[in-house]
Amino acid sequence: MIKIYHNPRCRKSREGLEILKNSGKEFEVIKYLEEIPTEKELSEIINLLNISPIQLVRKTEKIWKETFKGKELSDSEIISAMIQNPKLIERPIVINNKKAVIGRPPTNILEII
């Protein structure tokens, strides 16, 4: 089953959702600001994306700039920061079986569906 970690207020996330709708495939929408991933889930997503945790952080968010920017943080601390402040998680994230992409640009999603 395809999953999209979605923020309805984000234009890129809405565009990614449209790509999935137009694909005709079944998918599950996870509004990650309401259904915050656990540390284990977020770690698994990062592994599927094959990136380091810092690459999933939205560094332009006010909370990042005011609280975390310029600090030496471990991967675990970065994951904790994203769980405590889910707005920091880049979006949308689409997972299909053992493949995952960040939908920036949204056309990245086409690679795995």
Which residues are tagged catalytic?
10
**Cis bond upstream, residue 105 (ω within 30):** yes
Question: What is the distance between the alpha carbons of residues 104 and 72, in angstroms, rounded to a whole number?
Answer: 26
Give the DSSP letter of residue 38: P
Name the residue among 38, 46, 59, 34 with its Cα closest to residue 93.
46
> For the stretch 66-78, what's the b/e string if a residue is b when 16 or more beta carbons lie within 10 angstroms of its beta carbon?
eebeeeeeeeeeb
